[in-house]
Structure 1
Amino acid sequence: MGIHGFPDSALPTAPAHFLLESAIRPNILALHPYRCARDDYQAGILLDANENALGHSIAPDVDTDEATLRLPLHRYPDPSHANIKSLIAALRELPGPENVFLGVGSDEVIDLLQRVFVVPGGKEKILITPPTYGMYSVCAQVNDVGVIKVPLQLSGSQGEGGQSGRFSLPMDEVRCVSDLQISVKLNLEQITKAVDADPSIKLIFLCSPGNPTGTLLPLSSIRAVLSHPNFKGVIVVDEAYIDFAGGNSVSAASLLSEFSNLVVMQTLSKGFGLAAIRLGIALAHPAIIQVLTNTKAPYNISTPTAALALSALSPASLALTRTKIQTLIEQRGELLRALAEPKLTVLGVGTAVGGHNANFVLVPIHDKDGTGKPDNERALKVYKSLAEEQGVVVRFRGNEPGCEGCLRITVGGEEETAAVVGRLGDVLEAL
């Protein structure tokens, strides 16, 4: 049985150990997608979709953007958005729009991938590498699929009772982060053992740069997982923060020409600053894109979202995006330097952990006794005091594996950096 809407002659053949049709749930493979009105015709006197022919009813004196009101809001949106996909393919140096899928944020992509590849009812599983993005597990519970956890490990220089260094996939690697040589001495044994022991694992989710770790996974590590012959499923690399780590030069999307068992997720929420429009992206072999397209809701991307995405992908907007990303990268360095100042370290701010490849930093709060041990109770108090008394909202991540006592601080502008650093000091002095 082939994939509906996709020629058998174009099905993937590499890597040799991966057979896409066998990885897909049988009911999804047999699915004939809903065919909507706009799949056939998008112009003319449109009397085929039971739309309101008189147009939208938003009054002109309502405080709404004029450009939005001029959009054909009474018509169902384009179900394919080939123009947006073409621009994304060009931006990410992929062959064409057939390699791109658009979702309602990355969360829809995560959910669809689990519905496409993982049989529910406890029969099949996903594998995650905590600490990581929580929606992988949430979607697994919603879809009634199992979760196997292979924790990342923290290595590098270790202060007495402290944590400094970076998280990584299992791999022997030496990388330079902020002028400090940090050795990551791990191996792929845990992941391969899990896969070898449990053939019901169908998806492996890797977050790179990680959330909350901020660590960019080496392509060599990702390649090793993709090449493991006993894994018959799909590796999903979540690159929500990739633009803060070097963009295309370090993206796993560069491996798509070799590995059809790979899906790379990206988004316009982070680097593009468009979290409100909820546009997630999957980059993959065209056959996987076709399966996702067959399974999605017919009109998942709204017309206002599509219009804003097109504007964001214009040459002028891309230039502005790159400028803002560079500013945030520079501000990330300023935040790290400020957090490492003696005043804060004496008060209990530890060395930031992780790889610092995203638009946030992960910093432990130590106990006030000067032992240098991360203190979850104190960190939670700092988190609440900052938000409730100082008006600065960060994120407590101390309950994540390897993140004891940690606060995740998003990189802001120059004024926001000064505010969080100054008020963090005030709170720590008071505790």
Structure 2
Amino acid sequence: MPILGLEPSLYPAKPAHFDIENVIRPNILSLQPYRCARDDYSEGILLDANENAMGHSIPSFSQDASCTLDNELQHTLELDLHRYPSPTHDPIKSRIAALRGIPGPEYVFLGVGSDEVIDLLMRVCVAPGKEKILTTPPTYGMYSVCAQVNDVGVVQVPLELSGANGEGGESGRFSLRTSEIKQAIDADPSIKLIFLCSPGNPTGTLIPLSAVRELLEYENFKGIVVVDEAYIDFAGEHASAASLITQYANVCVMQTLSKSFGLAAIRLGIALAHPALIQILMNTKAPYNISTPTASLALAALSPEAVASMRRKLQDLIAGREWLLQQLSTLFPGDLGTAVGGNDANFIVVPVLEKGGSGKPDSARAHRIYKTLAEQQGVVVRYRGSEPGCAGCLRITVGTEQENQTVVDKFKEVFQNL
């Protein structure tokens, strides 16, 4: 069954073993997507969408001081808030395509955060109660949450942990078990999606493109490899799997404006993939999923000046990451082990050790320190000790220079008592 809205010339041809029509659920392929008013016309006297022609009623200024809005909101109020937003946002997609070095906007999908992309991929590819996804724990928790919501099974192939995770001063290092993933695929052909987090959360580990390519070329896997790159800008140049999109129709790369762009509040997620998969996602999404204020901020964030500013801040955060790693490793030799993972994101993961110098990670102590930092010291980090391979671990986001110094100072205080 053809993909509605996709030009025949855009049907994927590589890799040869991949047929996207066999990946997408039949009910999605046959779906007649909702056609919204702005799909047809977006200029003129617009009387087609039952909008409020009088405009919004939010006062810009008022005699009542409680109703007076900050000047920062004036630009938002001047947007066409009484009109439904664009269903496509092609200017944003074009800037993303140029930034990531892919051919054009037809390779880009926008979602309400990456979580909408995750949910949509499961809904269009994986039959509830029958088919499955594969994850590689420790990894981002929303994959399994979305799977449960969609009644989708989960096959887990844990990352391989090498090193001692704080024992004897060695660092725990994570790597992808591609051979075990292939074995899982051979044993269970119902697996439709493989979710790889790179750099990983909570591991901070970058998955080599060679490993991703190996799975894309594995002929027994007929599904799609999803590479979640929320932290990719912290991993250096040439690390992104976006470079594989024009070669492989069975890869989908997820990115976001939440991390390196510092726009977590606007909830803009990105999928980069072959136009065939992008068209399927467009056919399935809600008609106006990206709001006008979000789109306005995203377009501004993707301007050349804003991208240059983002990259300068990125370097500051990377320098802060290295400073934190150095401080924590030298100041607390008996309390903290060597950082776990690859340190390719905007956070670090360190194991809290047992008191007494055994060198073994201590999850109970780590949880006490986590609670004490948050409730008594005003510093909130994340306890990750229950994740596979992360015994005793705390995840610390890289902050400003002052925040990083405060973290170190507060660790000094809590380790005297715990």
Q: What's the TM-score bracket when you normalise by the shorter of the two chains?
A: over 0.9
- 1:163: how far off? 5.7
Superposed CA deviations along residues 19-62 of structure 1, whole A, max 9, x for unmatched, are 00000000001011100001111111110000000000111123
Deviation sequence 1:148-175 (CA, Å, 0-9, x none): 00000111466646661321212xxxxx
| Rounded Cα–Cα distance in structure 1 between residues aligned with 2:385 and 2:247 | 38
Q: Which amino acid aligns with 1:35?
A: R
Aligned residue runs from structure 1 range 134-145, under 5 A: 134-145=141-152
Do the aligned residues in 2 keep the contact of 1:163 with 1:353 (CA within 8 Å)?
no
Deviations 1:52-90 (A, max 9, x none): 000001111232510001000000000000000000000
Q: Determine whether 1:353 maps to 2:343.
A: no
1:241 aligns with one of 202, 219, 231: 231
**Is 1:338–2:327 an aligned residue pair?**
yes
**Which residue of 2 is the match for residue 204 of structure 1?**
194
Q: CA RMSD in A?
A: 1.1
Q: 1:118, 1:237 → 2: CA distance?
A: 17
Equivalent position SS for 1:78? coil
Residue aligning to 2:359: 372
Q: Which amino acid aligns with 1:27?
A: N
CA distance in 2, matches of 1:41, 1:345: 65
Cα distance in 1, alignment partners of residues 8 and 60 from structure 2: 52
- State the match for 2:158 in structure 1: 151
Q: Which of 164, 172, 181 is 2:171 aligned to?
A: 164
- Kept in 2, the 8 Å contact 1:25–1:119? The answer is yes
Which residue number corresponds to residue 63 of structure 1?
A: 69
Correspondent of 1:263 among 247, 252, 269: 252
**Which of residues 292, 300, 318 is equivalent to 1:311?**
300
Structure 1 equivalent of residue 109 of structure 2: 101
**In 2: Cα distance, 1:331 partner to 1:405 partner:** 23
How does the TM-score come out when normalised to structure 1? 0.94
Q: Any idea what the Cα deviations from partners look like across 1:370-410, whole Å, max 9, x if unmatched?
A: 11111010000000000000000000000100001000000
> In the alignment, what sits opposite 2:397?
410
Q: Point out where structure 1 has 5 or more consecutive residues left out of the alignment.
A: 171-187
Matches within 5 A, 1:5-154: 5-61=5-61, 62-64=68-70, 65-121=73-129, 123-154=130-161
Aligned residue number for residue 173 of structure 1: none
d(CA) in 1 for partners of 2:201 and 2:166? 23
Counterpart-to-counterpart distance in 2, 1:396 and 1:193: 32
SS for the counterpart of 2:416 is helix
Does the CA-based 8 Å contact 1:162-1:374 persist in structure 2? no
Q: Residues 132 and 109 from structure 1, CA distance in 2 versus in 1: closer, same or farther, beyond 3 angstroms?
A: same
Maintained 8 Å contact 1:244/1:271:
yes
Q: Which residue of 2 aligns with 1:427?
A: 414
CA shift at 1:136, angstroms? 0.3
- Which residue of structure 2 lines up, in the alignment, with residue 176 of structure 1? none
Letter in 2 for 1:164: S
Q: Is the 8 A contact 1:128 1:136 kept in 2?
A: yes
CA contact (8 A) 1:158 1:165 kept: yes
User: What residue number does 1:183 align with?
Assistant: none
Paired positions, count: 410
Give the TM-score, by structure 2 length.
0.96
Q: For residue 425 of structure 1, report the CA deviation from its aligned partner.
A: 1.7
Q: Secondary structure at the match of 2:279?
A: helix
CA contact (8 A) 2:166 2:351 kept: no
Q: For 1:27 and 1:193, how far apart are their aligned partners in 2?
A: 30
Q: Which secondary structure state, in structure 1, belongs to the residue aligned with residue 227 of structure 2?
A: strand
Deviation at 1:369, TM superposition (A): 2.2
Q: Which amino acid aligns with 1:2?
A: P
Alignment partners' CA distance in 1, 2:401 and 2:9: 55
SS for the counterpart of 1:141 is helix
Q: Which one-letter code corresponds to 1:49 in the other structure?
A: A
Contact persistence 2:93–2:105 (CA under 8 A): yes
Unaligned runs of 5+ in 2: 62-67
Deviations 1:217-252 (A, max 9, x none): 1001111111111000000000000000014x1100
